[in-house]
Amino acid sequence: MTKTELRYTMLEKRMQLSKETIEMYSKEAVKKIQKHPYYIHANHIGIYHPIKNELNILDLTNDKKHFALPVVHDDDMQYHPYHLEADLVESALHIQEPILDKIVDETLDLLIVPALAVTLDGDRLGYGKGFFDRFIEHHPTIKTLSVVIGFQVIKTLPQTLHDQKIDQIIIVGDTYDY
């Protein structure tokens, strides 16, 4: 299966999940993230604003840590401070982004990266624009973590030269079965 076909399949499967199921898995995801050593030791964390039935991890921002959301500029992505009461604007990619503030890329010590699919080896399938891959490549010291639902764990994933691995995977919900 090609990356394009896999993206379509995984997105369709995730979109079929009910709002209640996503909420339940999101709560489980937040609890598991909060117990993960990367999160426990991190002070500045890059998160994402959920789209297309992604797990919602924004409840993490109730913790006493510093959070940031990505903002896309052309082919570049930068992180800007975020808290639950922050004003957001919808980007051209239909993603909620913080109103531009200072860039905090260099202060991040953990990046929680969204994924359509992952392998247990840390290969990740995103939406195909390469924003997170480029960011991770240019910030190799930042720990990376993806949280996925069991069906999103697959045995192998086609890789290209620019694809970046994720350091750790957190799995919620159903178990994976290649």
Cα–Cα distance for residue pair 15/33, rounded to 1 Å: 23
CATH number, domain at 28? Answer: 3.40.50.10420
Q: CA 55, 31, 122: angle at the middle one, nearest 5?
A: 60
pLDDT, tens digit, for every residue of 121-134? 999 999 988 999 99
pTM: 0.92
Q: Extract the runs of DSSP E, i.e. beta strands, from the chain.
A: 44-46, 66-73, 76-82, 88-90, 96-98, 110-112, 117-118, 124-125, 143-149, 168-172
Q: DSSP secondary structure string, 65-105?
A: SEEEEEEEETTEEEEEEE-TT--EEE-TTS-EEEPP----G
Decide if 7 is inside a domain. Answer: yes
Decide if 178 is inside a domain. Answer: no
Decide if 72 is inside a domain. Answer: yes
Burial of 130 (0-12, 13-18, 19+ CB in 10 A): middle
Decide if 177 is inside a domain. Answer: no
**Domain extent at residue 122:** 3-172
Query: Average pLDDT over the chain, rounded to whole?
Result: 92
pLDDT, tens digit, for every residue of 72-99? 888 889 999 998 777 787 877 778 877 8
